[in-house]
Every structure is written in structure tokens, then in C-alpha cells.
Amino acid sequence: MGLVMEQRPPAMARAADGDPDAFSVLIQPLLDPAYRLAAVMLGDRSAAEDAVQEASVKAWRKLGQLRGDERSLRPWFLSIVANECRMARRQRWWSVVRVAEPQRPSEPGAGGLASDLKDAVLRLPADDRLPLVLFFYLDLPLDEVARALGVSESAARSRVYRAARKLRSDLTEEDVF
Amino acid sequence: MPRDDFKRELNDAFSRISGSPGSDLPARVRSALIDAPERRGPGWLAGVAAVAIAALIVGALFVIGPLRSGHSTVPVGVATPSPSVADSPTPAVSPSPSPSSSPTQSVYVCGSSTTLNGTQPALSALIDSVRGGTHAGYDRITIEFQNGQPANVQITPQSNATFTQGASGQQVQLQGKDGLLIVIHGADGHTAYSGPTDIHVGSGILEARQLEDFEGVVQWGLGLAKPACYHAFWLTNPNRLVIDVQT
């Protein structure tokens, strides 16, 4: 990702100048991971696309606030997507939709089947899903996970491990990292 | 459990939750960026800075005295941020051809009604802009609200372009063979909006006309070239109701 950004400094400059086409080119490689992050956080694919769209507009407006080189773009953008998901979950309609969600099986750690794990993931608080998605699903290095979470690298490591242990209580730190 | 097993199972679970994004997501995002009313980059910041500097200069000159009527010497024009979509004072039709691909069929709702609930409804959401635009594959109508979202919006397709005006009860015939009725509850279309109430958009939305603006209910009718396949959604900052009609 960093390489992609480094190859397009003109797009970065044009985007910072307010060129929407340049910005859409810049974030296009990030839309897929952003969507996956949002979909897991929200548990709703349509809402995830809406969140990514909204986050993209916000990111464009805030692009001038981005510090660091082009490699900072991915964790920065994903943090905006995560914030957008938090906002979406707080909104009134969201609670209405959630009422209609079917009951899921209990006991998050029980069983080794993938469906059990999926249910367990969906039962996790969104703030626990976030470090897991960043680290495992999007395969971000820990330093980027930390930047996306807005915490130190050691704190990010702790959050990943804590969240993983909620899914599999017998995991050791060596199993996770 | 070995890490690879855990990771594989977990990623499989994530994958089944998320699936893949729709192929139209990049086009949607690009369209939202183009439609975003404020494009704030360094140019905008420079504009704000110029305003502040100009204000300081005017203030200083005014205090000093010799230039009480010296507005013309202050580069006010320089301080004006570059025009953006939102800055356009006339909320009229603004065709903005876009080279982006149109949203895929799966995004559109064809032939059935949709209700959008406002997420943070204002007591009465003041409409301050109505815009139409043409894009590759779809026409867009955007209704912008000044102070929050309305309570809800009902969108109902119909097989003709004949609508009933709320105030008079009279039938009005819009251009086109089909129609889409937009009923906005908890809105006000007259306090902050003085733009056109009859708009010609493009080849999909042939005509958009306000049908009612009374007691918190605002209705717009869309005259369409063919049966409606549409996608309705909210954008925020500012709050906008966006309806894309496939062409």
C-alpha cells in the first residue's frame, strides 16, 4: 500500500488541493479494506458501504490534517472509517435494525466450527472487533494497527491479544503474534 | 491452537460476515466526492486566511482613520473562497457529467417503495437547496437540508407521471411516462429555500416538481422516462437526501 501511495505523489498533491478525482484515485485501493472493516464492525453490508462512502468524503475534507508521509494514509483513512462506524451504530435507526437481528447461539468460545467463530465475532463489542480486523483480516503490521486505533504499538498489541482471547480463551500470546 | 489455524478460522469468519464490496463502490465514492459541497483544501484555507488578513487590514485602517470608505482598496475578492457546488447561490439544475461508471443494478430498487428514516431529525428540517445532475448511467436529484434531517422520507414509484398537488388537489402532468413520488415528513421547503420548484434534470429524470409544502410535509414528484429503478440514501455535512435514478 505504501508503495502504491509513493508512486502517486502528484495525486496526493492534487487531492490536497481539492481535486475529487485525484482523491478517489488515491483511496481506491483502500476502499476494499475499508469496506471489510466497516462490514465486520457493523455486521451489515449495505450500511458498511454507506459508512465507507461517508468516511471518504470526510477524509477528503480532512486531508490537510494528515501528518506524515503517504504511508500514513491507510491507517489514517481506516481510523476515519472506524469512527464513521461508531457513529452509525449510535444512530437511532441502527438500534431499530438491531432489534430485528436474529438471536445467535450462545457461548462464544464453544466449538471450533467456523460458524461458531463467526457468531462469536458478531457478539464481540465493536471496539474489540476493530483490532482483530485490522491485525488479522486486513493483515496490517502492528504499527499501522496502532495508528488506526490511535494508541501506542504496545497498547495495540494488548488490544489485539485481549480481543483474541475473548474468542479463544486458551490462546497464548505466541499463538496470536 | 497454532496461530495459523486461529488466523485462518478467524479470517474465514470475517470473510463470511463482510463478503466483498459491491463493484460499484468506487463509483459511489467518487460520485459522493464530486457531489460534496465543500472541497476544502489549502485553497480554502488560503481563502480563510485572506479573509482574516483583509479584516485586520480594514480594522487597522478604520482605527487609523484616513480610510473610512476604503473598501475598494481591500482585496475582498481575493478573500472569497473558490466557488464550490455548495457555494452556488442558485439551487438550480446543475448538470455535472461524470465519467464514472454508473452504480450496478444491485444497488437500485426497482418498482417498490422505500422509506428512509432521518437519523438525527430536526424539528423541521429546512430545505435550502434542490439540485439535479446527470451522470453516466443515472440522473441524480439532491435535496439539501440546512439544520438536520427530516423525520422520514417515503419514495414511491408510480406507473405514470401524473401527480396530485397537495394544496389544491389538482392533477399535474409532469414530463415522462413514469414517476417517483418523494414525500418528506418533518421538512420545510419555503423558509430557507427560494429556488426553482420545477427542474429539468436529464434523460432519466425528465422533470422534478415540488407538489406540496404544507404543515411539515414536502412532496416532490419526479417525471421519469421509464419505470423507476432508483437508489436513495443520505449524505451528511451538510445533510442531503440523494436519489439516483437509473437512465
Instruction: Quick: pLDDT tens for A65-98.
Output: 787 667 789 999 999 999 999 988 876 454 444 4
Q: Are A61 and B40 in contact (CB < 8 Å)?
A: yes
Give B-chain residues touching A43 at CB under 8 angstroms. 17
- Chain A within 8 Å of B21 (Cβ-Cβ)? yes
Give the pLDDT score at A113.
55
Residue that wins the pLDDT comparison between B92 and B111 = B111
Q: Cell numbers 480486523 correspond to what residue?
A: A133
Are both A137 and A69 inside the same structural domain?
no
Residue B172: per-residue pLDDT: 92
* Same domain for A115 and A38: no
**Which residue(s) pair with B143 in the sheet?**
B130, B241
- Write out the three cell numbers for B219: 412532496
How many domains in chain B? 2
Q: What share of chain B in percent tops pLDDT 90?
A: 28
Q: What is the DSSP letter of A103?
A: P
The mean of the pLDDT values for chain B is 75
- Same domain for A97 and A110, yes or no, is no
Is residue B135 within 8 Å of B99, Cβ to Cβ?
A: no
With beta carbons under 8 A apart, name residues in chain A contacting B47.
none
CATH number of the domain bearing residue B203:
2.60.40.3500
Is B154 domain-assigned? yes
* CATH number for position A128: 1.10.10.10
Residue with cell 437540508: B145
If phi > 0 it is left, if psi is from -120 to 50 it is alpha, else beta; for residue B169 that is left
Domain of B64 in residue numbering reads as 42-79
pLDDT (mean) for B215-232: 92
Name the one residue in this structure whose C-alpha cell is 406540496.
B212
A21 pLDDT higher than 70? yes
Task: Tell whether B177 is covered by a domain.
Answer: yes
CB contact (8 A) between residue B29 and residue A27: yes
The verdict on B106 touching A (C-beta cutoff 8 Å) is no
Q: Which residues contact B65 (CB under 8 A, 6 or more apart)?
A: none
Q: Which of A101, A128, A157 is the last residue of a domain?
A: A101
Domain count, chain A: 2
Q: State the ipTM, two decimals.
A: 0.82
Which tops the pLDDT comparison, B238 or B85? Answer: B238
B98, B57: one domain? no
Last residue of a domain, one of B52, B79, B106: B79
Compute the distance between CA of residue B219 and CA of residue B186 in angstroms, rounded to an integer: 11
| B17 belongs to a structural domain | no
Among B23, B57, B79, the domain boundary falls at B79
Q: Are the C-beta atoms of residues B134 and B95 closer than 8 Å to each other? A: yes
| Whether residues A79 and A150 fall in one domain | no
Q: What is the pLDDT of residues B69-83, one digit of tens each?
A: 333 323 323 333 333
pLDDT tens readout for residues B196-212: 899 888 889 999 999 99
Please, are residues B62 and A87 in contact by the beta-carbon 8 Å criterion?
Answer: no
- Asked if residue A56 has pLDDT above 90, the reply is yes
Q: Is position B116 within any domain?
A: yes
Q: Which three cell numbers stand for residue B14?
A: 470475517
Residues 132-171 of A with CB under 8 A from B: 132-133, 136-137, 164, 167-168, 170-171
Same domain, B66 and B142: no
Domain co-membership, A10 together with A62: yes
The rounded distance, in Å, linking the Cα atoms of A23 and B136 is 19
Q: Which positions in chain B touch A54 (Cβ < 8 Å)?
A: 32, 235-236
Report yes or no on B59 lying in a domain.
yes
**Smallest Cα distance from A130 to chain B, Å:** 11
Domain co-membership, A20 together with A78: yes
Residue B22 domain flag: no
Whether residue B85 has pLDDT greater than 50: no
pLDDT digits (tens, 9 = 90+) for A138-171: 999 999 999 999 999 999 999 999 999 999 888 8
- Give domain status of residue B84, yes or no: no
pTM (2 decimals)? 0.53
B10 occurs within a structural domain: no
Answer yes or no: do B234 and B116 share one domain.
Answer: yes
Residues A140, A94 share a domain: no
- Same-domain status, A26 and A85: yes
Answer yes or no: do B173 and B203 share one domain. Answer: yes
Based on the fold, state whether residues A94 and A165 are members of the same structural domain. no
Nearest to B28 among A49, A60, A118 (CB): A49
Reply yes or no on whether the pLDDT at A100 is more than 50.
no
Residues of B in contact with A118 (CB under 8 A): 13, 16-17
**Distance between CA B159 and CA B133 in Å, rounded?**
23
Domain housing A10:
1-101
Q: CA B245 to CA B205: how far, in whole Å?
A: 7
pLDDT for B106: 47
Residues of A (57-116) whose Cβ lies below 8 Å from B: 57-58, 60-61, 63-64, 91-93, 96, 112, 114
Nearest to B7 among A48, A112, A136 (CB): A136
**Of the residues A50, A85, A101, which one is the last residue of a structural domain?**
A101
Please indicate, yes or no, whether residues B48 and B165 belong to a single structural domain of this protein: no
A27 interfacial to chain B (CB closer than 8 Å) = yes
Say if residue B212 is in the same domain as residue B236.
yes
Partner-chain residue, chosen from B18, B28, B117, that has the shortest CB–CB distance to A53: B28
Are residues B195 and B233 part of one domain?
yes
Q: What is the pLDDT of residue A92?
A: 46
Show which of A44, A77, A101 is a domain's final residue.
Answer: A101
Residue A112 has pLDDT above 90, yes or no: no
Instruction: Note whether A118 contacts B13, CB cutoff 8 Å.
Output: yes
Q: The domain that contains A64 carries what CATH number?
A: 1.10.1740.10
Residue B111: name the closest of B163, B179, B174 by CA.
B179
| B161 and B190 inside one domain | yes
Q: Are residues A85 and A117 in the same domain?
A: no
Per-residue pLDDT reduced to its tens digit, B25-69: 898 898 888 877 655 444 455 455 555 656 665 555 555 444 443
Contact between chains at B42 and A92 (C-beta distance less than 8 A) = no
pLDDT, mean of residues A128-145:
94
